[in-house]
Chains A and B, each alone.
Chain A
Amino acid sequence: MDRKARERIVYAAVWLACLAPLLWLAWRGYAGELGANPIEAVIRKLGVWGLRLLLVGLAISPAARILRQPRLIRFRRTVGLFAFSYILLHLSTYIGVDQFFDWAAIGKDILKRPYITIGMAAFLLLTPLAATSFNGAVRRLGPKRWRRLHQLIYLIVPMGVVHYYLLVKADHRPPLIYGGIVAALLGWRLWAARKSA
């Protein structure tokens, strides 16, 4: 097998891994296995997978450095775009299915519910990152500005965690676990930057 074919297989595997939660969710929905409140279940699953993929995206460069596999970096864009897609679906389900395009109620939610306010802000910040994730954008913005823009992710992911923390009623352990992972991934960057400085 030549390198190109191998590369294609690896990409296909990454794609499939990113798509698997969505396919699984669709299958469970089709089979009627999403429980008594399927709309809530879909919103939550999409949200939590969006967050997980954001974490995977954040973990790629540390992993590439630690494992000395610099070529892992090439998956960052794929993972990031999938994270964005899950969050877009998460938001769309909330708007189109849960609230059924009741814009007045949605507007009130965004203004009055801190967890929705911060989720929405995180989504709005994420959108330019998704929109500039093709090669042409790097060229157009210039690598420096592009990198500066994409550093927003260090703010966006913690906002996603805070969104999660704020919507949980009593059991704060799951969002705190995600928060701990994010803190470790961002902390590693600070540490690595200081070491190389």
Chain B
Amino acid sequence: MLIRQGGDLTENDVTPRGIYLRRREFMTGVAGAGLALAAGPASAIALRGEPSRYSTDEEKTSKDNVTGYNNYYEFGVDKSDPARNAGALTTSPWTVKIDGECDKPGTYDLGDFLRGNTLQERIYRLRCVEGWSMVIPWLGVPLADLLKPYGPTSKAKYVAFETLERPSEMIGQRRSVLYWPYREGLRMDEAMNPLTIMAVGLYGETLPNQNGAPMRLVVPWKYGFKSIKSIVRISFTEKQPPTAWNRSAAREYGFYSNVNPEVDHPRWSQATERRIGEFRRRPTLMFNGYGEQVASMYRGMDLRKFF
């Protein structure tokens, strides 16, 4: 259960020029100003983000459904499992390891990793490979802004991501349903696309654990499993990195996994989807409706081959 507290911090989040992410340094005892992103497991802290032109004005999926219907196999395979089991995860302290083809590899505290970036609200469609979709108001930072300071070299062609592996708290990892830790990856241009964000919150609060606290990727033109949760490692690589679902079933889950109504998954038609909360299926849009921002990255590629 999520107990809402810390509403008193809202005033601190908003400055006239924008909204900054900072870290309340209660772990180190330093009396820093700002807000706790990495708070205790049972607390959600209010966040505010600047509106974005990339947001959709479609009706949002209810918060109950966004936080109660999740695919997060680290906490169980049933979609109600994460909400039940993810409370056990300790998200503070949290570090992220940056390595591979870059100038400044190292292990960074979450607060340092995010510091100085303006939080934005991005209301995105999310399309799951299973044929359902949601509209979610994320709070996050463009991934490009977070990654550039580490100086990816000219050899960095891809970015690989890794989820925490901690079976003592992530009970789904006690069985090898997938290869743990969960891994995902993007091509460099995809990672740098302005639509790609690192989310730290949703619905005006820090992320609930079942949604990938304390930070997760959101890549809205790809099937949901590409948007890896609870990230502890980011690597710049020259070669296309292995990804969890692709290793599990290569024929079904490609590296790109762009939302594409014309390329079916062997088990599900991808032509239509059910928007959670609606009765009738609706047609699925190419690139989940984000073609204007992303289609040019795939020009000349056979999207049936590179599915």
* Given A36-B65, A105-B271, A108-B269, A170:B264 Cβ within 8 A: no
Interface string of A140-165 (1 = CB under 8 A from B): 00000000000000000000000000
A170 touching B178, Cβ below 8 Å: yes
Return chain B residues, CB-CB under 8 Å to A171.
73, 77, 175, 177
Most buried by B among A98, A105, A171: A171
Judge if B281 is at the interface, Cβ distance under 8 Å. Answer: yes
Stretch at the interface among A15-23, A109-117, A189-197: A109-117
Counting contact residues on chain A (CB < 8 A from B), the size range is 20 to 34
B68 touching A113, Cβ below 8 Å: no
Task: Assess whether B77 is in contact with A37, with CB atoms less than 8 Å apart.
Answer: no
Whether the Cβ atoms of B276 and A167 lie closer than 8 Å is no
Residue A136 is within 8 A (CB to CB) of chain B in the complex: no
Q: Which residues of B contact A105 (CB under 8 A)?
A: 269, 271-272
Contact partners of B175 in chain A: CB under 8 A: 171, 173
Q: Which residues of A contact B271 (CB under 8 A)?
A: 105
Q: In whole Å, how far is A142's beta carbon from the nearest beta carbon of chain B? A: 42
Contact with B along A78-109 (1 / 0, CB 8 A): 00000000000000000000111010010011
Q: Which of B77, B80, B177 contacts A35 (CB 8 A)?
A: B80
B77 lies within 8 A of A112 (CB): no
For window 280-294 of B, CB contacts with A under 8 Å fall at 280-281
Q: Which of A17-52 contact B (CB under 8 A)?
A: 35-37, 39-40
| Residues of B with C-beta under 8 A to A167 | 267
A169 to B68, CA, bound (A): 20
Q: Determine whether the beta carbon of B267 is less than 8 Å from that of A113.
A: yes
CB contacts (< 8 Å) of B279 on chain A: these are 39
Q: Is B108 located at the chain interface by the 8 A CB criterion?
A: no
Give the residues in chain B near A166, CB-CB below 8 Å. 267
A residues less than 8 Å from B64 (CB atoms): 36
What is the CA–CA distance of A115 and B68 in the complex, to the nearest angstrom?
27
- Asked if A37 meets B276 with Cβ closer than 8 Å, knowing A170-B77, A170-B178, A170-B248, the reply is yes
A112: B residues at CB distance < 8 A: 264, 269
- Bound-state CA distance A100–B283 (Å) is 13
CA–CA, A109 and B264, complex, Å: 10
Q: Mark B232-275, 1 if CB is under 8 A from A, else 0.
A: 00000000000000001000000000000000101111011010
| Interface pair A36/B77, CB less than 8 Å apart | no
Question: In the complex, what's the smallest C-beta–C-beta distance from B251 to chain A, in angstroms?
Answer: 12
- B68 in contact with A36 (CB, 8 Å): yes
**Residue on A nearest B276 in the bound complex, by CB:** A36
Bound-state CA distance A26–B267 (Å) is 28
CA distance A32 to B5 in the complex (A): 28
Interface size class of B (residues with CB under 8 A): 20 to 34
Main SS of the interface on chain A? helix
Q: Which residue of B lies closest to A168 (CB)?
A: B77
Q: A35-B68, A113-B268 are in contact. Are A170 and B177 (CB under 8 A)?
A: yes
Q: In whole angstroms, how far apart are the Cα atoms of A120 and B64 in the complex?
A: 35
Q: Say how far B302's CB is from chain A's closest CB, in angstroms.
A: 20
- B79 contacts the other chain (Cβ, under 8 Å)? yes
Distance in angstroms between the alpha carbons of A171 and B77 in the assembled complex: 7
What is the CB-to-nearest-CB distance from B250 to chain A, in angstroms, rounded to a whole number?
13
Distance in angstroms from B304 CB to nearest chain A CB is 15
State A166–B79 Cα separation when bound (angstroms).
19
Q: Flag if B276 contacts A170 (CB, 8 Å).
A: no
Chain A residue, CB-CB nearest to B281: A100
| A35 CA to B276 CA, complexed, in Å | 10
Nearest CB on B from A92, distance (A): 16
Instruction: Please name the residue on chain B nearest to A112 by beta carbon.
Output: B264
CB distance from B130 to the nearest CB of A (A): 8
Among B178, B267, B281, the one with the most A-chain Cβ atoms within 10 Å of its Cβ is B267
Instruction: Tell me the nearest residue of chain A to B172, going by C-beta.
Output: A171
The 10 closest A-B pairs by CB, nearest first: A36-B69, A36-B65, A171-B77, A170-B177, A171-B177, A36-B276, A100-B280, A170-B178, A113-B267, A37-B132
A interface with B by C-beta (< 8 Å): 35-37, 39-40, 98-100, 102, 105, 108-109, 112-115, 166-167, 169-171, 173
21 A-B pairs with CB atoms under 8 Å apart are A36-B64, A36-B65, A36-B68, A36-B277, A37-B79, A37-B132, A39-B279, A40-B274, A99-B281, A100-B280, A108-B269, A113-B268, A113-B269, A115-B267, A169-B77, A170-B73, A170-B177, A170-B178, A171-B73, A171-B175, A173-B175
A40-B132, A100-B280 are known contacts; what are 14 more A-B pairs with Cβ within 8 Å? Answer: A35-B69, A36-B68, A36-B69, A37-B274, A39-B274, A39-B279, A40-B274, A99-B281, A102-B281, A169-B130, A170-B177, A170-B248, A171-B73, A173-B175
